[in-house]
Structure 1
Amino acid sequence: MQKVLIITYYWPPAGGPGVQRWLKFVKYLRDFNIEPVLYVPKNPHYPMTDESFLNEVPEGIKIYRHPIFEPYGLASIFSSKKTAQISAGIITTKNQTTIEKALLWVRGNLFIPDARKFWVKPSVKFLSEVLQKENIATIITTGPPHSVHLIGHGLKKRHSVKWLADFRDPWTSIGYHQKLKLSRASRKKHEHLENLVLNSADKILVTSNTTKKEFSVITNKPIEVITNGYDTLEDVNIPLDKTFTISHIGSLLSGRNPASLWKALAELIKENASFKERFKLQLAGVVSADVLKSVYGAGLKPYTELLGYVSHEDALRFQKKSQVLLLVEIDSEETKGIIPGKVFEYMAAKRPILGIGPKAWEVGQIIAKTHTGNTFEYQEKELIKKQLLEWFMAYKTKELILPAATIGQFHRRELTRKLSKFLQWE
């Protein structure tokens, strides 16, 4: 059985989507004759936790842990709230305080590539012994945080190992990179490190064709696209909401604010008494103040339910019982290749997906091919309104049902099968 060392910052009890990709791969790797060995931080600063993920860690998996120094703890002395927001990825661009501007400048220019950079050198030293002890010839790094890839680079320089670098998100082309107040020198350094990783790793793994295309300009190394997926083990029969519930499961951060949707809903409430009586907007997860202000400004406060962060198990239940599932991405060129992991769980829930995102969004192609909903651009208010009314009329007659969709290729086990083939070295 082939042994692989997986180096990741996010691991249970970390919550959110970042932990799920490699938790699920680890869950199924043994089915394909691969024994995973994990390396994770001993004292991480996770923005959110979800104890339910601990139940999915396979028995007998060897996990190595080593301390990490994270400056977020020091920064919180000045503003614990703002530090927690930046750590969680909430970066507002309007009405920034002096503290916010300073924290962003420090984050972007002093902590390159990110605030977990101090874990790199001690990890390379620690893992050098682990590689020999476990007789490991293959290492995998997954980012963000992209500093994890620098651990892979350090080990590759010292040892004769094969290295697979997995990018759950892009590096320099990701949307929030433009908000970090980078100096010209800092931007060059990010680009240099990105180039270094992409050309030092033996193989590259990405989650979208858009990212593959971007990376192909920088490196000639083999690049494979393996999206995220779903992992529904049993088809639990959960009754649908009696209300016409439109649910967004996950963070709605600044920038993911489809004002056209809120206006379309407000108009439907005003024009259709039946819709007004039965409609509910359900938001589970972190919702930024900008988004809430827009939602409430459209007059939707009486119809909005804020659930806060919910466990992954609860998230799956909310997905199955909602009438419509909302998926939103930032409206920019940089985000057209972002494929949120929850889209595949949405598909498995078998509820219509209302996607709102950038032009040529890769998610739109997936949803269209699988016949699991419809996607629109931000400015297409009338088309969004027409679709919602169509689904509402079907809901009233209990006919809001999706056609049979072929989504088996996105099951986590099938994706792990694809990964196992990519991990075969010539």
Structure 2
Amino acid sequence: LKARLIDTFKGLVAFPDTNRGWISIATESARKTIAEQSFDLVLTTSPPPSAHVAGRRIQVAAGLPWVADLRDLWSDDRFSTAPIWRRAIDRRFEQRTLGKADALVTVSEPLAEELRHLHPGVPTHTVLNGFDPDLVNPGAPLPDVFTITHTGTYHQGRRDPSLLFEAAGNLIRRGRLPRDRFRIRLFVKHEPWLLAMAERHGVTDIVESVPWGSFEEAIRAQRTSHVLLLLHWGGPREAGVVTAKVFEYLAARRPILVLGGGPGVLRDLLDDTGGGLQVNAVERLEEQLLLWWEEFERTGALAWQGEPERIERYSHIRMAREFASVFESALES
């Protein structure tokens, strides 16, 4: 609790964010590099928003076109816990900063519409996240224990696995799933509330809490799982959110289970690629877990229903082409 309070205080007083000290360093480093080499354009990516403050300064100093890419929104960040007064300050500062960009980019059309409303004079484009083609699963062997793995982030009350804990606990108590051959593997940093939640649902013994390690460890865990878990919030503005994690999961070529959320870009992506399904009700989740378990008992694996050609469209190669198009437009303008 003490650490959380300290982080909250830092978030409130640090402007525009806790990386503010990096702005001057980045700006000066860019100035020196630009003086020594020829560049056509400045690209900044957030989070953190400090990157865009540096980008604006570099734009002014170098006289180059500037493209600001927002993988998450700035003042309209859906997970922000800042009070209204702080968000109002952030909003005005964002308008002053990004209003000078030559182009804006974000991850989905609903979020792009929000940016167009906030910055009506700036061309705004959509470039979805993607996956590294080199990370496509070559066919890693699967364990003998049915394993569902989550390697993303958690937000208590918004993105948590309570629905899965409840469904698995119900099935185990009814004797439909065996405790010794069913595992929920969660990569965590410091979320003690997750274990407390597992205890409430009677599934502590099937939940494996793995300390967060390297990116490579997460990729290996994804490949050696039968199902990959993605936690989605059902908030009113979540329809436009597509986390980068889902693209990692597509590259792992394992069925994706999305918990929470409603219609939106993520569901459209799953429908387009055949990469997985989205579930919001415990009864429906119980049915799906049993279907998977029965297939696992018969075959020792789960048939992957993804469409490789469609999934390939969501690689970094596609992202590079779309960014190149944005750059060309910014240079022409």
TM-score normalized by the length of structure 1: 0.71
Match of 2:78 in 1: 175
By how many angstroms is 1:105 displaced? Answer: 3.4
By how many angstroms is 1:327 displaced? Answer: 0.4
User: CA 1:393–1:218 in 2, change beyond 3 Å: closer, same or farther?
Assistant: same
Match of 2:302 in 1: 400
Answer yes or no: is the 8 Å Cα contact 2:137–2:251 preserved in 1: no
Aligned pairs for 1:12-161 (under 5 A) are 96-97=1-2, 100-101=4-5, 103-108=7-12, 110-161=13-64
2: CA distance, partners of 1:338 / 1:287 = 24
User: CA 1:237–1:215 in 2, change beyond 3 Å: closer, same or farther?
Assistant: same
User: CA 1:235–1:303 in 2, change beyond 3 Å: closer, same or farther?
Assistant: closer
Matched, 1:222 2:123: yes
1:60-86: CA deviations, max 9, x gaps?
xxxxxxxxxxxxxxxxxxxxxxxxxxx
Matched, 1:388 2:289: yes
Answer yes or no: is the 8 Å Cα contact 2:250–2:311 preserved in 1: yes
Matched, 1:243 2:158: no
Answer yes or no: is the 8 Å Cα contact 1:253–1:291 preserved in 2: no
1:265 counterpart letter in structure 2:
A
Q: Secondary structure at the match of 1:391?
A: helix
2: CA distance, partners of 1:158 / 1:172 = 25
Residues 298-307 or 360-369, more deviating: 360-369
2:249 counterpart letter in structure 1:
Y
Answer yes or no: is the 8 Å Cα contact 1:250–1:286 preserved in 2: no
2:62 counterpart letter in structure 1:
H
1:244-266: CA deviations, max 9, x gaps?
11111133343322322211110
Structure with more contact order per residue of length (Cα contacts < 8 Å, sep ≥ 6)? 2
User: CA 1:361–1:262 in 2, change beyond 3 Å: closer, same or farther?
Assistant: farther
1:292 counterpart letter in structure 2:
L
Matched, 1:213 2:117: no
User: CA 1:287–1:360 in 2, change beyond 3 Å: closer, same or farther?
Assistant: farther
Answer yes or no: is the 8 Å Cα contact 1:248–1:284 preserved in 2: yes
2: CA distance, partners of 1:288 / 1:341 = 21
Match of 1:30 in 2: none
Match of 2:326 in 1: 422
Answer yes or no: is the 8 Å Cα contact 1:164–1:203 preserved in 2: yes
Task: Structure 2: give runs of 5+ residues left out of the alignment.
Answer: none
Answer yes or no: is the 8 Å Cα contact 1:319–1:346 preserved in 2: yes
2:139 counterpart letter in structure 1:
N
Task: Structure 1: give runs of 5+ residues left out of the alignment.
Answer: 1-95
Matched, 1:411 2:312: no
Answer yes or no: is the 8 Å Cα contact 2:171–2:177 preserved in 1: no
Aligned pairs for 1:360-399 (under 5 A) are 360-377=263-280, 380-398=281-299
- Out of 214, 218, 235, which is 1:315 matched to? 218
Q: Secondary structure at the match of 2:99?
A: helix
Answer yes or no: is the 8 Å Cα contact 1:327–1:353 preserved in 2: yes
1: CA distance, partners of 2:177 / 2:258 = 24
1: CA distance, partners of 2:57 / 2:8 = 28
By how many angstroms is 1:277 displaced? Answer: 3.8
Q: Secondary structure at the match of 2:234?
A: coil
User: CA 1:400–1:153 in 2, change beyond 3 Å: closer, same or farther?
Assistant: same
Aligned pairs for 1:169-208 (under 5 A) are 169-177=72-80, 179-180=81-82, 182=83, 184=85, 186-208=86-108
1:209-231: CA deviations, max 9, x gaps?
22112111112322222222222
By how many angstroms is 1:288 displaced? Answer: 1.4
User: CA 1:287–1:271 in 2, change beyond 3 Å: closer, same or farther?
Assistant: farther
Answer yes or no: is the 8 Å Cα contact 1:256–1:291 preserved in 2: no
1: CA distance, partners of 2:44 / 2:149 = 33
1: CA distance, partners of 2:214 / 2:94 = 33
By how many angstroms is 1:290 displaced? Answer: 2.0
1:270-309: CA deviations, max 9, x gaps?
1135443421111123251222211222111111112211
What fraction of aligned residue pairs are identical, expressed as a percent? 25
1: CA distance, partners of 2:187 / 2:25 = 38
